[in-house]
Amino acid sequence: MARVFESKSDLLGAVGETLGTSEWLEITREMVHQFADATGDHQWIHVDDERAKRESPFGGPIAHGYLTLSLIPVLSKSVYRIKGPKLLVNYGSDKVRFPSPVPVGSRVRNTVVLTSVEELPNGSLQSQVTNTVEIEGSDKPAVVAITVTRIFF
Q: What is the pLDDT along the chain (153 residues), one digit of tens a residue?
A: 899 999 999 999 999 999 999 999 999 999 999 999 999 999 999 999 999 999 999 999 999 999 999 999 999 999 999 998 999 999 999 999 999 999 999 999 999 999 999 999 998 999 999 999 999 999 999 999 999 999 998
Q: Distance between CA 30 and CA 39 in Å, rounded?
A: 14
Half-sphere exposure of 110 (CA within 13 A, CB side): 27
List the domains of the chain with CATH numbers.
Answer: 3-152 (3.10.129.10)
Task: Write down the pTM of the prediction.
Answer: 0.93
Question: How many CA atoms lie less than 13 Å away from 56 in the CB half-sphere?
Answer: 20
Q: What is the dihedral angle through the alpha carbons of 4, 20, 128, 14, rounded to the nearest 10 degrees?
A: 60
